[in-house]
């Protein structure tokens, strides 16, 4: 009989001010208590030519086929926001960034998440983006105006548009 090891993704627990709650561990998929949040990092990628990287969600995922203006995901237990952002950027795009600049934080009560958002400015070869199996299915580079004109039915989240307007 084959033995299967199931990986349970563990997260640190935070209060609304991004202070870690000692002694509490969250598990992906389990309910997060009221007043407790998990950390999610999102990275907006802007090329030196001024275009932005969009990643298309794998069709098997929630909101599959829609475009995201960020790479990102949940911080694993023990990761600080910057470490999480570097890992997620590399996993989802193959881009290695020397410097990420924090551009904002969003407290999302419904998702019980604190989003820490970063800007990655890169001059990487635009064709060198690597897709992450099971996460992304395509990518494209668009101008800020093209991104801002995308509809809710095309973009997985509109929240990033606020940051794009400020960065433009």
Please state, rounded to an integer, the average pLDDT across all residues of the chain.
89
pLDDT bucket at 48, cuts 50 / 70 / 90:
very high
- Can you give the C-alpha Rg of the chain in angstroms? 16
Evaluate if residue 156 carries a pLDDT over 80: no
Domain ranges (residues) in the chain? 10-167
pTM of the predicted protein model: 0.87
Long-range residue pairs from 122-125, CB within 8 A, at least 24 positions apart, any chain: 122/45, 122/46, 122/47, 122/48, 122/95, 122/97, 123/47, 123/48, 124/47, 124/95
Considering the chain, what percentage of its residues have pLDDT values greater than 70?
A: 89
| Euclidean distance between CA atoms 121 and 114, whole angstroms | 23
Count of residues making up the chain: 168
The structure tokens listed for 56 are 């298309």
Domain 10-167 has CATH 3.40.630.30: no
| Euclidean distance between CA atoms 50 and 69, whole angstroms | 14
Higher-pLDDT residue of 77 and 66 is 77
- Map residue 88 onto helix, strand or coil: helix
């Amino acid at each position: 009989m084959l033995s299967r090891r199931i990986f349970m993704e563990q997260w640190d627990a935070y209060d609304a001010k991004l202070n870690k709650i000692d002694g509490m561990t969250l598990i992906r998929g389990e309910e997060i208590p009221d007043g407790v949040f998990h950390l999610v990092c999102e990275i907006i990628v802007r090329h030196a030519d001024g275009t932005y990287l969009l990643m298309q969600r794998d069709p098997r995922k929630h909101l599959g086929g829609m475009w995201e203006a960020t790479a990102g995901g949940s911080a694993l237990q023990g990761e600080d926001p910057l470490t999480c952002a570097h890992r997620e950027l590399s996993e989802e795009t193959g881009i290695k960034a020397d410097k990420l600049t924090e551009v904002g934080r969003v407290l999302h009560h419904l998702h019980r998440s604190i989003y820490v958002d970063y800007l990655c400015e890169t001059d990487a070869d635009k064709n060198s983006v690597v897709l992450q199996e099971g996460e992304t299915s395509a990518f494209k580079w668009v101008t800020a105006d093209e991104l801002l004109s995308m509809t809710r039915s095309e973009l997985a989240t509109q929240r990033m548009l606020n940051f794009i307007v400020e960065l433009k």
